Amino acid sequence: MTSLRQRLVPYWLLGPGLLWLVVFFVVPMYFMGELALRSGSLTTGFTFDWAWSNFPDSLSGHSEQVVRSFVYAGTATVLSLLIAYPLAYAIAFRAGRFKPLLLFAVIAPFFTTYLIRTIAWKTILSDDSPLVSVLQTLALIPEDGRVLATSGAVIAGLTYNFLPFMILPLYANLERLDLRLVEAAKDLYSSSRQAFLRVTLPLTMPGIVAGVLLTFIPAFGDYVNAQLLGGTGQAMVGNVIQSLYLNQRDYPEAAALSFLMMALILAVVVVYIRFAGTGAFMGDEDEETSR
């Protein structure tokens, strides 16, 4: 009847939220780009003069941390996948009446503050902790070796903190898996291994893709784990950005580095999605990738 009014309804409903996201997400990105093209110093003030050199400068000055971020986040993502897949599989098919309890265990970390959890790891991995002396007795680390302030500690922290983001999409995907397809494969004389590789794994690819992205992206940008569990030699890109912005106040270089980081991650996501061949992350089905 009142068709124009009817057609405007969704825009009214979306209006406030979209406005908020545009003004406080999209527009700030513009200002970050603008800031990245300025030059000067904190005392003289920063003036806008298309200083494109900020981009290569910020990258070349911190290439070590960028590479380290890729290595740490990549390792943590692979470890998460190796831990999460069997766990999600066990929860989906083997847990029986323990299923709600196990799912609760998976989301329980969300109920304690991220920072305090990481500090708890700091205590667990500290030099005089029982865990470290056990590792020393088993000669897994040298007699006077430490765990804290090593790459291993940072990677363990990253793996721990982002593990739920890997488990939940995998579980959501596995739970909807039609087990009759696996049975059919076995009826057709495939071994358990073949059935897994040819049926289960391809069908759970969307969950793997979503989980890998949801783990890799925050792990790549994280700086809390490197700060609390790492030493001076474990700084990641996030630490550099944080310190440039908040301590050194070299805003143009910090903005340039943030911009490059965002671009790098977008590139990784696009390539990865092309390669893995699923639109589950960006498409209309993204509710399953949420926590």
Partner 1 sequence: MSVAARSWASLRRNALPIYAGFAVAYMLIPIVVIAVFSFGDTPKDKLTFGLDDGFTLEYWRTIFSNTQLNEAFTTSLRLAALSTVISTAIGTLMAIALVRHKFVGRRAANLLIVIPMATPEVVIGAALLSMFIYYTFALGFTTLLIAHVMFSISFVVVVVRSRLIGFDRHLEEAAADLGATPLATFRTVTLPLLAPGVVAAALLAFALSIDDFVISNFNSGTTVTFPLYVYGVSLRGIPVQVNALATLLFVVAVICVALVLWQQRRAERLAAVRPEREPAAPIPAPPAQATT
* Position 152 contacts partner 1 (CB under 8 A): no
Among 66, 87, 208, 235, binds partner 1 (CB under 8 A): 87
Please report whether residue 192 would count as binding partner 1 according to CB under 8 A: no
For the record, the structure tokens of 226 come out as 């490197």
Q: Which is nearer to partner 1, 161 or 188 (CB)?
A: 161
**Residue 91 CB, nearest distance to partner 1 (Å)?**
7
Span of 138-146, 174-182, 195-203, 219-227 interacting with partner 1 by CB under 8 A = 219-227
Task: Enumerate long-range contacts of 144-151, CB under 8 Å, 24 or more apart.
Answer: 148/122, 148/229, 148/231, 149/229, 149/230, 149/231, 149/234, 150/230, 150/231, 150/234, 151/72, 151/230, 151/234
Does residue 91 belong to the site contacting partner 1 (CB under 8 A)? yes
Phi, then psi, of 282 in degrees rounded to 5: -100, -15
**Burial environment of residue 211 by CB neighbours within 10 A (0 to 12, 13 to 18, 19 or more):** buried
Q: Should residue 282 be labelled a site residue for partner 1 when binding is judged by CB under 8 A?
A: yes
**Residue 51 identity (one-letter amino acid):** A
Query: In this structure, are residues 20 and 38 in contact, taking their beta carbons and an 8 Å threshold?
Result: no
Residue 119 interacting with partner 1 (CB under 8 A) = yes
Residues 243-262 that bind partner 1 (CB under 8 A): 245-246, 251, 254-255, 258, 261-262
**Distance of closest approach, residue 103 Cβ to partner 1, in angstroms:** 10
Q: Which of 243, 244, 103 is nearest to 175 (CA)?
A: 103
* 37-43-44 Cα angle (round to 5): 60
Pick one of 31, 63, 183, 197: the residue that binds partner 1 (CB under 8 A): 31
For residue 95, the minimal CB distance to partner 1 (Å) is 8
The answer to the question of residue 74 lying near partner 1 (CB under 8 A) is no
Contacts to partner 1 from residues 122-151, by CB under 8 A:
122-124, 126, 128-129
